[in-house]
Amino acid sequence: MEIFITAQAIPSGELIERLESGCAGSGVELLLRKPADGFRTLDTTVVVALVTSTGAALGALATAVVGIAREKKMRRITLRDKDGRSIDYPADLSEGHVQALIETLHRMEARHIEIT
């Protein structure tokens, strides 16, 4: 599964470093790539997460994303699927509610995570 990750006000280089530390050993491979059309970003690259084993890997990725959003005092985490449907979560999502985000990531087969 390939998931594009963008974050308002966080350069992709910094974003990938933070995600790498949160996803270490989980089966998530992170890459920098030129964005496809339709991505609203000033950065010339986006982070792409290649998730090989969906269970633990999605959990690690979601936990890392929520941690970054909290630390940077962002407002929202938006999940988008391949058809453009989206679901928003508050960026200050409690530890107990991260599981709901993980389940949504899996169920939606999310293709883009945007932190704003």
pLDDT digits (tens, 9 = 90+) for 17-57: 999 999 998 989 999 988 666 555 555 578 999 987 667 88
Q: Are 2 and 111 in contact (CB under 8 A)?
A: yes
Domain parsing of the chain, residue ranges: 2-115
pTM reported for the whole predicted model: 0.87
Q: How many residues does the chain have?
A: 116
How many angstroms separate the first and last alpha carbons of the chain? 23
Which helix (H) or strand (E) segment holds residue 30: the answer is strand 28-33
Q: Residue type for 39, please?
A: F
- Decide if pLDDT at 80 tops 70: yes
